[in-house]
Amino acid sequence: MGVVLDNKCPSCGANIKFNPATQKWDCEYCGCSYQLEDFERNKKNTNTEENVNIDEYTCPNCGATVVTDENTVATSCIYCGSTTIMKNRLQGDFQPDKIISFKTKKEDAIKAFQENVKKRWFAPSDFSKQENIEKISGVYIPFWLYDSYMYGKINARAEKVRSWSSGDYRYTETEIYNCMRSGELGIEDLPVDGSTKFEDEIMDSIEPFDYKEFIPFHKSYLSGFLAEKYDLNKDAVYNRAEGRMKNTMVNELRSTIRGYTSVIVNNSFVNVKKGQVEYALLPVWMLNIKYKEQMYTFAMNGQTRKVTGSVPVDIKKLIKKSLIFFAVCLIIGFTLSLIKEMI
């Protein structure tokens, strides 16, 4: 797997990578560790300009666009596993406003994947083989972050149900109420991914991120990881962002209707005033495994360790364990019947 924008060690000139555990950049050759300020200080002292040539490649198999450094000539697509040669020079502006750096290491993602598979009783034994696990890669996923101010109101049907018994009869009383709520709500940094190749459902499953750990973007944080360029601009994904904002407003208003057996929102109105929009990169560990002509995806939040993933079912293992379970139940039932007869 190719890396993105390796930094050079100020002491020995070797490539150094970002260490999520220490939040520093470690050199494996001379043993030195650096903070972000050290790079800026070294750049100022040497009075040199950074001329980093960045390439992008488009996977011919699935169409994903991934950013990598100029020295990487071949890599595997994080989405489908296909080997691709990078030839095209990155075009356009790839400058996020902020970033959440990786807080977990590859070993953490591997362990999480293994535990996820272990929980699935009917997962194929060869699904988590070493050659598959080693394909886990850290990827910075592009996101648009929206601020908004909203005014909303809802009309809901609420019910109170009370039941009691008297003599041989059982009574149920249902009281129906018409509830109205209105209010205002501000939202900061509502995320929507800007990539068509990263499924929205997967990203939703590993949210939330801790936005208190946002820091200004610096390319050094990409060392040792991949980063995808957005292919949907902020206007293209705004409808999805607005939909999430409106749902949040309705849910907040509904949560204020308490003390009822059931509450159903009949109609709602939400006016959204769009605020600031920022471009950010969020850390995700990803693994795509092609198993018997079908793709299975595993993802782990690179900050919080929250995971999601799909695992295939081994039909032979399912039948075998089902038969064993049936046999055990049969033996237990037969044994209990014998004991009952003896008593």
72-79: long-range pairs with CB below 8 Å, 24+: 72/2, 72/3, 74/2, 75/1, 75/2, 76/1, 76/135, 78/1, 78/137, 78/139, 78/226, 78/228, 78/286, 78/288, 79/197, 79/198, 79/286, 79/288
Q: Are 116 and 110 in contact (CB under 8 A)?
A: no
Which residue carries 């890396």 as its tokens? 3
pLDDT by 10s per residue, the chain, length 343: 333 445 677 776 666 778 888 888 877 655 678 888 777 777 666 555 444 455 666 676 777 766 665 444 345 566 666 654 444 433 445 688 899 999 999 899 888 888 877 776 666 766 667 777 777 888 888 899 999 999 999 999 999 999 999 888 999 999 999 999 999 999 999 999 888 877 888 888 888 899 999 999 887 787 778 777 788 889 999 999 999 999 999 999 999 999 999 999 999 999 999 999 999 999 999 888 877 777 888 889 999 999 887 776 655 655 665 666 666 677 776 676 766 666 6
Q: Where are the domains positioned within the chain?
A: 141-284
State how far the Cα of 85 lies from the Cα of 3, in Å rounded to an integer.
14
